[in-house]
Copies of this chain bind each other. A is one copy, B any other.
Amino acid sequence: MGAERQTDVAAGEAPSTGSGQALRLFVGAFVEELARSGVAHACICPGSRSTPLALLLRRHPAIKVWTHLDERSAAYFALGMAKALREPVVVVSTSGTAAVNFAPAVVEAYFARVPLLVLTADRPPELRDVGAPQTIDQVRLYGSHAKWFLEMMLPEASSQAIRFARTAACRAVATARSDAAGPVHVNFPFREPLIPDGGPAPERDAKVSQRDDESPYVSVEEAPRRPDAAGLAPLAAELRAAKRGLIVCGPQDDPRFPEAVARLAADLGYPLLADPLSQVRCGPHHGPIVIDSYDAFLRDEETARALAPDVVLRFGATPVSKPLLLYLQRHGRCRQILVGGGDGWGDPGLTASEALRADPRSLCEALVGALQPAGQVQGADTPSHWAARWQEVAEMARAALTSRLGEEPGMSEPGVFAELADMLPDGALLFAGNSMPVRDLDAFFPGAKRPVRFLANRGASGIDGVVSTALGASAAGSGPMVLVTGDVSLYHDMNGLLAAGRHGLQATIVLLHNDGGGIFSFLPQADDPEHFEELFGTPHGLDFGHAATMYGLSYQRVDSWKGFRSAVRQSMGSPGVGLVEVRTERSANARLHRELWDGVSRAVRKPDREGATP
């Protein structure tokens, strides 16, 4: 910004594609601009065609390189780093199916809005579709799941080409980062020879146009969609006038959002239903207005019916809780306002009546500014009474869950989250696998003032890539990281465990091992004795102790909560990655869940609550 261009000494030079000099200057300029734009990490998979990218990223002093051997795991690892950092992370592959193995993580990044910079090496045009090995069609390889696709030119040392490389890198980073964030794919055709020459890096080569300070060639700034208080006055007045207003927070990633939304909820007297992935459930902003056990008590029809809102402000992506989604659908004729900065549409129940395209935090702050002080209206339907009813039900539900879990003689999957809630230190990162863990996290991890960050792959909610995403998050994050995952998910991305020792990571993996797909026991086919185990339960009989040995993880299989706490504490306090295994039984787990829900229903319907009955 503001820097002058240097004289373009290279202008008019004959393009010299494929030379070591062209590689160094063209690819080097691209890499340099990635770094100047803030990229600090690159996950690289070995390959020949990608040699220029690999060497030049590795040579750059501001970029840390993480090598991986399985491209599927590599891309998920990069995704986890990008999630933890909220910054673009690079992932590099050679040509062919190597690049295709990035696809699952690219899809997840697209729907989870994670900035991922996918750089794939490719054959030059003359070697495409003529039977050359490791050559596929990489143009728009990720289809509609890449935010932006760019086919680079063959490397050239000309001034204009280098300007193109610089601009492309800056745009790629900015596009990945820009609201809604997502994956960007840049495809690089390379000819042999593939080794950049040993000349100076482009930022030290006077021949090459660049900014003469440390700024990127193009600085891209994007103003947030920030509503002004005056324009919001009518909405603020309507929200203030509503008697039964509600705020629902689904998955989102802005670390300053929780405080803003909690302030808004408190000012409005609106209960705030906080999905763990909204980051609103735990943190200093926490208070009684934050409702955490809705997944349990909204399963109760009577309660869900009685707690009828007249307006719902919805933030973030789709919440994990199905009972909450059904509740929003049940009350689908009330005013439901979907707030979001991108152009996504997180409303599977199709009940939104308004979509407000604005930065959620800015909107909360602007609304708080626009609100008139609350009146003194009393009665059954004042916001304060309404909020109190939610809080009471929530507390009864939490008490019923805690009580029933306390009665459980052995260990259980829900119990793991209740235990972790007591154990995790400030600033911990809890990563939940998909299928059951993230649902149990939602249901059984109570809110608190202690800051805990929650992550999961909820863009496409796949069970693949969970290990690598979590380890990537732990590699980039600050606090201790605990992953809770099922056995099918751990098996799916077992290759991801290689990163543990390879990169000296510190993490704890809690394995809920019920030998198969636990979630299917909650579906109607669980009653099909003939094919259920073969097609859905799919027991595999794997002993993950062998995987732990192979990958150098410490491993403990525990059978008591005491043992669990000791093993988790030990792992959190030690270097390396620890695997703590809890064995459970799928049908017993389904039964326990049903009993927990039944207990909550009984508790929240208690006849002695009288006036407090929702």
- B-chain residues with CB within 8 Å of residue A126 when the two chains form the complex: 350
Known A-B contacts A145-B137, A550-B546; the reply to A97 vs B101 at CB < 8 A is: no
Interface size class of A (residues with CB under 8 A): 35 or more
Given contacts A101-B104, A550-B547, contact A71 B348 (CB under 8 A): no
Q: Do B345 and A129 touch across chains, with their CB atoms under 8 A apart?
A: yes
B44, B97, B318, B494: the one contacting A494 at CB < 8 Å is B494
Q: Contact at A107–B111, with CB atoms within 8 Å?
A: no
Q: In the complex, are the beta carbons of B46 and A536 less than 8 A apart?
A: yes
Q: Is A492 an interface residue (CB 8 A)?
A: yes
Q: Is the CB of A491 within 8 A of B347?
A: no
Nearest residue, chain B, Cβ from A105:
B97
Kindly provide the distance from the CB of A294 to the nearest chain B CB, expressed in whole angstroms: 17
* A67/B534 in contact, CB under 8 A: yes
A531 at the interface (CB under 8 A from B): yes
In the bound complex, residues from chain B placing their C-beta under 8 Å from that of A498 are 491, 540, 542
A540 touches B130 (CB 8 A): no
Tell yes or no: A61 within 8 A of B by CB.
Answer: no
Does chain B have a CB within 8 A of A458?
yes
Q: Which residues of B contact A30 (CB under 8 A)?
A: none
The reply to whether A535 and B133 contact each other, CB–CB distance below 8 Å, is no
Q: A96-B460, A103-B103, A134-B460 are in contact. Are A67 and B538 (CB under 8 A)?
A: yes
Given the known A-B contacts A130-B348, A144-B137, A348-B132, are A101 and B464 also in contact in the complex, defined by CB atoms under 8 Å? yes
Q: For the complex, give the distance between the alpha carbons of A48 and B127 in Å.
A: 42
A344 contacts B97, C-beta separation under 8 Å: no
* Chain A window 522-559, contacts with chain B (Cβ cutoff 8 Å), 1 for yes, 0 for no: 01110010010011111011111011011100000000
* Interface membership of A51, Cβ < 8 A: yes
CA distance A461 to B132 in the complex (A): 10
A325 to chain B, nearest CB (A): 9
The 4 closest A-B pairs by CB, nearest first: A97-B462, A131-B346, A546-B550, A131-B318
Neighbouring B residues of A104 by C-beta, 8 Å: 97, 100-101, 103
CA distance A22 to B413 in the complex (A): 37
Q: A70-B491, A70-B492, A464-B101 are in contact. Are A130 and B96 (CB under 8 A)?
A: no
A59 to B525 CA separation, bound complex (whole angstroms):
14
Q: How far is the CB of A44 from chain B (nearest CB, A)?
A: 6
> Cβ of A255: which chain B residues have Cβ within 8 Å of it?
none
Q: How far is the CA of A550 from the CA of B55 in the complex (A)?
A: 37
- Pick the most buried of A97, A133, A140: most chain B CB atoms within 10 A of its CB: A97
Q: Are A69 and B491 in touch, CB under 8 angstroms? A: yes
- Cβ of A517 within 8 Å of any chain B Cβ, yes or no, is yes
> Which B residues are in CB contact (< 8 Å) with A135?
348, 460
Asked if residues A130 and B546 are in contact (CB atoms below 8 Å), the reply is no
Whether B317 lies near A131 (C-beta < 8 A) is: yes
**CB-CB < 8 A to A131: which residues of B?**
317-318, 344-348
Q: B137 contacts A143, CB within 8 Å? A: yes
Given A134-B460, A502-B540: A517 and B46 interface contact (C-beta under 8 Å): yes
Chain B min CB distance to A77 (Å): 15
Closest Cβ of chain B to A320, distance in Å, is 8
